[in-house]
Amino acid sequence: MPGLRPFAEITYLFAEFERTAWRLETRRGYASDRQGERFKAFMRGVEPQPEPDHPWNVNVRERTAQGAQFSRVRIVDDPPTDGQRFLMATAAGNVAAGEDIRVLSRAEAARLELPDFDLWLFDSRTLVRMHIDDTDTTIGVEVIEDPEQVLAACRARDAAWRTAVPTAAAWAQVRSSM
């Protein structure tokens, strides 16, 4: 696909954005999670422990200390898939680092007509559309600065954010029903 770049080529955006980095997660799971030992342990009933020294969390702490904001909305099914449950179980470490993570039901996401693809939105002006294959593997990203597409992503962010619930509350509800 023309314009597709490796994800590694855009990682600088996480250190260089000025005010806000927002993510929409639409997948039922991610190959990178399923391949990791934490996911495998989670599937055996081991509760994931926070990883405060993980590079992601270190960057989030540093950037939020400078006044930047990291946030995301995760779309989940009813009932949540194993991958979605894992993401909710591991979110506490990201939240402790300073990220605001919320959850939205897939039915509500459909009602709001949210995009059906994962994305990052930086400073409400740079859209990174993630391309993920049928195995839930990220195959590349598009960096989009077209004002119409960025505005559509901003509208999706605002709509999702208004109705999403904090991940800790969603995870507590899921755990109580297990």
* pLDDT above 80 for 171: no
Residue 1 confidence (pLDDT) above 90: no
pLDDT recorded at residue 128: 98
Residue 77 neighbours by CB distance under 10 Å: 12
pLDDT at 175 over 80: no
Angle 56-60-64 from CA coordinates, rounded to 5°? 175
162, HSE (Cβ side, Cα atoms, 13 Å) = 9
- Digit-coded pLDDT (tens) for 97-147: 999 999 999 999 999 999 999 999 999 999 999 999 999 999 999 999 999
- Give the tens place of pLDDT for each residue, 20-57: 999 999 999 999 999 999 999 999 999 999 999 999 99
Q: Token pair for residue 109?
A: 């996401």
